[in-house]
Structure formats: C-alpha cells, structure tokens
Chains A and B, each alone.
Chain A
Amino acid sequence: MKTIMYLRKDLDEKKVTSDELFNDAIDKAHKYQEEFNSFVTIMDKKEEKDSNSLISGIPYALKDNFSTKGILTTASSNILKDYVPVYDATAYKKLKDAGAVLVGKTVLDELAMGGTGTTGHTGIVRNPWDKTRQIGGSSAGSAAAVALGIVPFSIGSDTGDSIRKPAAFGGVVGFKPTYGRISRYGLFAFASSLDHVGCFARCVRDAAIVTDILKGQDERDMTSLPDEDIKYTDVIDNDIKGKKLFYIKEITDKTLYKDAGEETLEILNKFQETIEECKKLGFIVEEVSFDEKLLKAIYPSYMTISSAEATSNNSNLTGIPFGPRGEGSSINKIMFDARTKGFSELIKRRFILGSYILQRENQERLFKNAERLRHLIVDKMNELYKTYDAMILPASGGVAPKFDNEIDRMSDRYLILENHMAIGNFGGFPSITIPNGFVNGMPIGINITGRVFEDALTLNIANKIEEALGYKGLIKEEYDV
C-alpha cells in the first residue's frame, strides 16, 4: 500500500531513488499493458525536474487528452493518432514543475465521450479486479493505472462522472474539485461547461496533495477561480462533528428497487451501513426528498448539453491545420473525409445528436430546456446546501459491468442511481468517490459532493469517512478480498 506520503518518506530517507520508482512504474506499466491496456504511451525517458513539493520524484500517469509538448497525445481517437502537441496543459506543467515524473499517457474513451473504457482507438481497458469487466470511463487508463499499483496517482478529466465512476469500479479514490479550481487549459475540450480536471489516488490525503499542486488561477483559463489561501492537506484532519450530510430518498430507498438484482440491493445495504458509520463519527445524516422528475432529467439533460458542446468543441478536428489530411476534390470534401475516417461510429452519433440539438428549430426545445433543467437541479442542490454541508450517495447501482455488446448506446434503460454524479458537473460542485468495500468480490464506492468552492471541507469529510471505513490503498495484488 504505497501512498504518496509513504513514497515521500522513502525518498527523503533515501530508501529508494526517484529513478528506481520510475523504473519500477515503467516495468509494471509494461507488464500489465497487454492484459489491461492502461496506456497509449509509456514513457521511455524520465523527466528530470527537482522541487521541494511532496510529489517531487513520484511517478504518475496522465490521461491522453492533456496537451503535452513533444509527447504524443491522441485523446484515444484515430483523428489524433499521430498528434504531437506544441504546448503543455497547465495541469501537466504544474506537475512537471513540482517534480512529478510522468510514466505514461493513459487510454480514455474516444475524446472522453463514454463511460466504459472500451472505445479508445488502441483497444479496451480492463478492470484490474476482474479482467472480464470494464473499469469504466472515460478516464479508464488513469483509473486502471492506480488500481493496478503502477502509479500512486493519476490525472483524469470528468465531464459527467468520468473520474468518479471508474474510481468506484477500480476501488480507488477519484476527486474532481470545484469547477475552475484547476485550470482546463490544455485539456482537450469535451463539454466546456461541464469539463473538470481531477485525480485518482489511493487515499483522500493523496488526492488532497495532488489537488494542492494542481489548483490555482490560470490567466489562460478565464473560468479558473482566484487562488485560495489554504492547503487542503492542512485541513483534511479537521474535526467534523456536527457537520451535516444528506442523501436522497428517491435514489437510495431500497423499496424503490423492487425489480433490482441482489447486487444493487447489496450496494444499497452497504451504503446504509456506511451512513451508520458516519453517524458514529459525529456527522448528522438526514434523508431528504428530491423531485423525482428532476432526478430523471439528469441523464437526458447531461447528454443533451454535453453532446451539443462536444459537437462545437470538436469542430477543430478537420485535418486541416493538424491531424491526418483527408482526400477530396474540394475543401469541404477533404474535411468530410478526414472526419469520416477519424471518428468512430459512437462519436459520429454524438456529433449528429449535438448538431441536431443546436439547430435553430430545435435549440429552444432541446438545448435550452436541458439548460433550464440543469439550473433547476443546481438550484435545488444549493437550497439543500443551505442546511447541509455535503451530499452522500452510492457511486453506482452496480459493480463494474461485464464486457458485452452494449456499449454506450443512449438507451432508455438507465437508472437514476447510475447517473446522479453528473449533478457535480451541473453545479461545478467538488465531488469525490471513495471505496466503500466490496460486493461480489468487486470494489464499490460512495460519492460525497460538497458545496461549490468548499473543496477543503469536502476532502475533510471524505478523509474522515475513509479513516472510519478503512478501505484505503486497495490494490488487487496486495489486497486479500
């Protein structure tokens, strides 16, 4: 169970060198690559930059949708399969400056769209706990790399739950702070109003350490928040007695899941056990009611808004200024050809939807209504946050799904339980998933979503719950289930 703090101590006491850590990570990365496919690129050279930061000399993995100067960045899409950026994303630059050592760029669902980890152009990512199962997505490789113990932390992006869901399926911590807390500059945009940068780690403390490095105002991102005069690692051990948590009856009430399988019921049972643990810790936990119509609107609103923004955001991928040049007798045909060949069927489907949603005659009914629903949901959350400090819910209604043919089709067969974490993206709320034990031998997670700007308190709450639950640093190899 090697956390950042553990490695830090080893490094400082010269029990291990950063070269050894890097080589060890690279070895593991190669060892697991064929089986689990976490990486698009595994580095063969170590970045050398010393600093006094806690993560100096510590290896990490970066999702392959962050711009890294001189290092292939594909967004797991054929249209960018040979793209080598000319500039560094702010998040990457901050990590580099802090002395963290990049081990590789991780596989994602193509262009970060999707939640299965199966749509990247270099193949599917498998769950370290069960190779026949998904790790989830879109930050699939980043989740797997931490869950496999290749790196103590990794960076992902989260537009709907793209960090927090795979974190739950992989038995690791996944945190996305408040919208704007970490600069998005250099993150390949999926849906700009929902996109967040965040991290995977083996414990809440490590997530706080990494976020302390990443956060801060960036003059290149107008939505980035002003700097805070606070270090999250300094406050995560604060006393939480009397802090108020709520969970939503319409999501967690077992009686609403009459047709659900054993697995879902087991997850809900585990959730209630954890609620009891929280109460023992001194939290006040209450069940609240949330308009079910609004809850049902989360997924369609999310798909509507994100598909629309994605269509526009990815309009730069034409093969003209960069990327594989298409063929054709006119400029339009050349772009058409590049995009036809460059995107998978799923992506094209999203773009067609997004385009349809934004069309003049549909925009009011689809896009604007989805925006209105988003605001109603956020308003309701903010009302609850007047009374409560954070929301606590199961991260998923099931354990990591098996691979089957059903890949990210936007069917009606969805559950509120499966998609509520997009609330965190709607409102830009700080939101963290931590392990909550096992069901059927597979890890499950709980999600804690706090008030906007209150990343410190959210991490503090999560840290205290994590301490009580004791599921920390779960790695298949090292953990005897």
Chain B
Amino acid sequence: MYKVVIGLEVHCEVKTNSKNFSSARNTYSEYPNENIDTTDLGLPGILPVANKEAFKKSLKMALALNCKTPDVVMFDRKNYYYPDLPKGYQITQETKPVGKNGYVMINVNGEDKKILINNIHLEEDTASLDHFKDYSLIDYNRAGVPLLETVTEPCMHSSDEAIAFLESLKGIFLYTGVSDARTDKGEMRVDVNISLSKDDTLGTRTEMKNINSFNSVRLAIETEIKRQKEILENGGVILQETRRFDEDTLTTHSLRSKVDAVDYKYYIEPNIPPIKITDEWINEIKSEIPMLQFERVEKYINDYGLSRYDATILVKDKNVSDYFEETVKLGVDPKSSSNFITSIILGYLNKNELNIEKLYLTPKMLVDLINMVNDGKISSKQSKEVFLKCVSDKKEPKEVVKELGLTQITDDKTIRDIVVRLLDERPDLIEDHRKGKNTFDYFVGQVMKKTRGKANPVLTRDIINEEMEKR
C-alpha cells in the first residue's frame, strides 16, 4: 500500500478596482487589450505603484488562514523571459510573504482535519496567450491583476482531502470578500504536487500546473496516483518533473524535468519602499473577518442541533448563512428556520437562479411565517403557498394569509357544529365505523371540504372521535 502525499498551490485573483501595480481596471473583459496601461505593457520608464486594497485583502486572507503576518509590506522580483510577462519579471513576494505558517480546518467525510499553509503571497498575474498554428496572440487584460498564491504543506493524502481543502479555501475567499474565486473565469487555478511512498519519507514528486476546475483537480490527482503506482509496482522510478494533465484521455504527460528548472533570480523590488504594517492595521482587518464556514458549521451542529448535512448546506453561501442567523437572532427556532430555508427557499432560489439578497422575503418576514405555522394559524403545507405568493406579489406573509383566507379554524365550536351536522346526515357510516370499517377519514375529509381545508386537522380528528363516542 502506498501513502499518497499531496501539496497544492492555489492562485486566486483578488477583487479590486484597479490592477496590482497600475491604474488599469481589474475587471473581466471580453475584448482583448482593453484594460491596460503603460505599466501593464512594461514600457520603458514605468514604475509599479502598489495597490493598497489588494494588499489589505491579502492580509485579510492571510489572517483568515491563521498565518503569521510580516512587519512590512515588501515585494520581490521573479525574473524570467516570456511574452506573457511584459516587464521580463513578475513582482511577487519571496522574502516577506503576506502570510506564513498558517492552517485551515476542513471536514472530510465527517472528520475534521487541519491543513497546514506554508505561505500565502501576493503577486501579479501574467498576460494570456492564445497559440495558433504559426502565430500567437497576447491579451494583456490579465497582466498585472493582483493574484494571491496559497501554498500548502504536502499534507493531504487523497483527492477527497484536496477537494475539501479547495472548497474550504474558496469559501474563505468568498466569506472575506477577497475574491469571487470563479474557476469558470480562471480566477482560481490550482497547481498539484503528488508523491507516493511506502513509508513516512516523502517520495519523488511530480507537479501539474494551472488546473482550472475542482473536478479536473480530482481527476488529475487520481490519474497521477494511478500512474505513479503502476511505475512503482513495476519497480520503476518516479522522475521529478512538471506534467500536463489531459482531461480528454485521463492521462498525464511530461512537460519538463527538474533539470530544466529556471533560476528566477529573486531579489527585492527596489521601486516599492517597505511600508510598515501596524498593529492597528492588523486589528482593523481582523475585525472585518466574519465567522467562517468551518466555525459556523460547528456552531450550527453544537448550539442549534442541526445535522451536519443541513449545516453544510446553510453555510455554502455566506448570504444564506447570514440570513439564517438573522432569523435565529429574531428568536425563531433554528431547526424550523433551517428546514424552511433548506427545503423551500433554496429550492426556489435555485429554480429561479436568484441570490438570497434579491429575495423579497426578509428574515423578519420568514420569522413571522414560521411563527404562524408554530402557532397553528396556518399549516406547514400552506406556508409554502404563502411563501411563493409573498415573493411573487412582493407582499408580507400576514397580508398574503389574509388575502388567501388561509387562517386555520382552531375554534372548537365552529368545527364541532360541522361535525355534528355531518354525523346527523350519515348515521349509516357511524354504524359501519362501529363494525370496524374505516369511515373516520370520510368525515375528516368532509370537514376539510366544508372549511376549504382551513380546519385544524388535529382538532378536527379529536372532535370527530369525541362526537362518535357520544352516539
């Protein structure tokens, strides 16, 4: 049996107005070379101006990943020649990354696990290249976009763990507002390092770069594990190299070996003077970090008695989780709220491709609706009808209930009068009932029919029972 060891390097674009070192816009554009300025083209004489917001967000992420932060803002140059890098060097952080030695708690198939973060550093994205048969096109829109690279320790042992980590990391990006982390727009890209070994020593690792979706990461890991396993089982040796994952054929191919590794000649970027990171700044940023997914799940399970399944669904989107918490704060039973949100609201949002922020029903309105059910004023079945009408007509639940005339009949005398009349009409069925035939449900049905479903079902059944006994 081989022990699999996986380390990940995750690149994620930071959400800012402008680029990391220039004033060009940082936004997705379908037109090439629209969001560029002199700096992004590496024209002679340009100077980088560090984007404070990008750095602040990077610090926020570092703190959310429980990293140690440096005393000063500092950048380094990574030197290499490629047309996607117009300056001939990338401004990155080697000497003093924005975060070091952190961790993320994840839950894999019900078990908690700590994933160690080696470092997280802020750099600039490269231009994108499109290669054709005898020419290539360069789009500098992406050049200079702030990019946060999170580097884990080699501490994961399965594709499940890797995916759970990536989901958690994405969650933290979304919760902190640092990035939209959209893999479909290339905002989040993953490098995977894998090695196999029979004992606790690390085996020779291979690397696969720039994988664009979590599902591809899973496939790539599994494909590469299989390949390495086969080689080792046949007495072969794994070469340290960069490999390309081919999703169509589910195979990996050698790109370049370690021997060809580039020396990036890192040195401190001289155009950005070190800026002190004060305790005040750190504290201010810390105070802006909300409670994250992992802690929320723990809280929902332990304090609210929710299932892990429901808790996990609720925290997937921070806005949904915040919405849920707001209802709890307003005094509603967490379980009722969770049930309503997970079974009715999320279904509605999914079906209509809406975000919860766009939902007309406020947490307060949901609490009103749930309270009406709990007070027996409407049935839980009716509550869904009320919800749908609330959001379609943009009206408050109380108003909708009134309009639909949905309020339950819980008055004993009203129901009893109906029951007595019904029993009077059909003495034959009472007789059948005594003989053991089930005619009870007929009477329940009739009461519902006469009240158009508004009679409280429990009360109705009790009264029918009582009245039948009397005869």
Contact = CB atoms under 8 A, between A and B. Distances in A.
B273 A315 contact: no
B83 A318 contact: yes
Contacts of A320: 83, 86, 138
A430 B206 CA distance: 53
Given A86-B43, A322-B43, A223 B271 contact: yes
Interface string B281-310: 000000000000000000000000000000
A192 B44 contact: no
Contacts of B267: 308, 312, 358, 363, 367
B48 interface: yes
Contacts of B265: 312, 355, 358-360, 363
A75 B44 contact: yes
Given A222-B49, A360-B265, A316 B271 contact: no
A89 B42 CA distance: 14
Nearest to B41: A321
Contacts of B86: 316, 320-321
B454 interface: no
A80 interface: yes
B318 interface: no
B45 A192 contact: no
B288 to A, nearest CB: 25
B88 interface: yes
Nearest to A335: B81
B349 interface: no
B277 interface: no
Nearest to A80: B44
Contacts of A89: 45
Contact of A222 (B41, B77, B136, B273): B273
Contacts of A186: 45-46
Contacts of B138: 320-321
B82 A331 contact: yes
Contacts of B47: 184-185, 220-222
A233 interface: no
A67 interface: yes
A306 B77 CA distance: 15
A153 interface: no
Contacts of A187: 45
A67 B89 contact: no
B50 A67 contact: no
Interface in A168-216: 184-189, 192-193
B87 interface: yes
B336 interface: no
Contacts of B140: 321
Interface string B76-112: 0101011100111100000000000000000000000
B270 interface: yes
B130 to A, nearest CB: 13
B38 interface: yes
A176 to B, nearest CB: 17
B13 to A, nearest CB: 22
A318 B81 contact: yes
A331 B42 contact: no
Nearest to A189: B45
Contacts of B38: 86-87
B418 interface: no
A309 interface: yes
A223 B38 CA distance: 19
A66 B44 CA distance: 9
Nearest to B263: A360
Q: Which of under 10, 10 to 19, 20 to 34, or 35 or more describes the interface residues of B?
A: 20 to 34
B79 A312 contact: yes
Contacts of A185: 45-47
B44 A85 contact: yes
Interface in A67-125: 67, 73, 75, 80, 83, 85-87, 89
A87 B23 CA distance: 14
Contact of A85 (B43, B49, B263, B273): B43
B254 to A, nearest CB: 19
Given A316-B88, A318-B88, A355-B265, A222 B272 contact: yes
A311 B264 CA distance: 12
Contacts of B273: 222-223
A332 B80 CA distance: 11
A316 B263 CA distance: 18
A66 B45 contact: yes
Nearest to B275: A222
B263 A331 contact: no
A219 interface: yes
Contacts of B46: 185-186
Nearest to A355: B265
A332 B81 contact: yes
Given A222-B48, A359-B263, A315 B43 contact: no
Contacts of A73: 44
A296 B343 CA distance: 79
A255 to B, nearest CB: 40
Contact of B271 (A87, A222, A314, A358): A222
Given A359-B265, A360-B265, A315 B79 contact: yes
A192 B270 contact: yes
Given A67-B44, A359-B263, A331 B87 contact: no
Interface string B27-63: 0000000000010011111111110000000000000
Contacts of A322: 41, 43
B41 A312 contact: no
B60 to A, nearest CB: 22
Contacts of B83: 318, 320, 331, 335
A312 B45 contact: no
A363 B83 CA distance: 26
Contacts of B79: 311-312, 315, 358
Nearest to A360: B263
A80 B180 CA distance: 41
A309 B270 contact: yes
B87 to A, nearest CB: 5
Nearest to B42: A316
Nearest to A195: B270
A50 B82 CA distance: 45
A332 B77 CA distance: 20
B233 to A, nearest CB: 36
Nearest to B134: A329
B22 to A, nearest CB: 10
Contact of B270 (A193, A220, A363): A193
Contacts of A86: 38, 43
A226 to B, nearest CB: 12
A184 B273 CA distance: 14
A315 B136 contact: no
Nearest to B264: A360
A87 B43 contact: yes
A315 B263 CA distance: 15
B136 A331 contact: yes
B21 to A, nearest CB: 10
Contacts of B48: 222
A139 B360 CA distance: 69
Contacts of A355: 265
Given A220-B47, A222-B47, 6 more contacts: A85-B43, A86-B43, A185-B45, A221-B49, A223-B273, A315-B89
25 contacts: A67-B44, A67-B45, A85-B43, A85-B45, A87-B43, A87-B45, A185-B46, A188-B45, A220-B47, A221-B49, A222-B49, A222-B271, A308-B267, A309-B270, A312-B79, A312-B88, A316-B44, A317-B44, A318-B88, A320-B138, A331-B82, A335-B83, A355-B265, A359-B263, A359-B265
Interface of B: 38, 41-50, 77, 79, 81-83, 86-89, 136, 138, 140, 263, 265, 267, 270-273
Please provide the 8 A-B residue pairs with the shortest distance between their CB atoms, ordered closest to farther: A315-B88, A358-B265, A316-B42, A193-B270, A192-B270, A186-B45, A67-B45, A188-B44
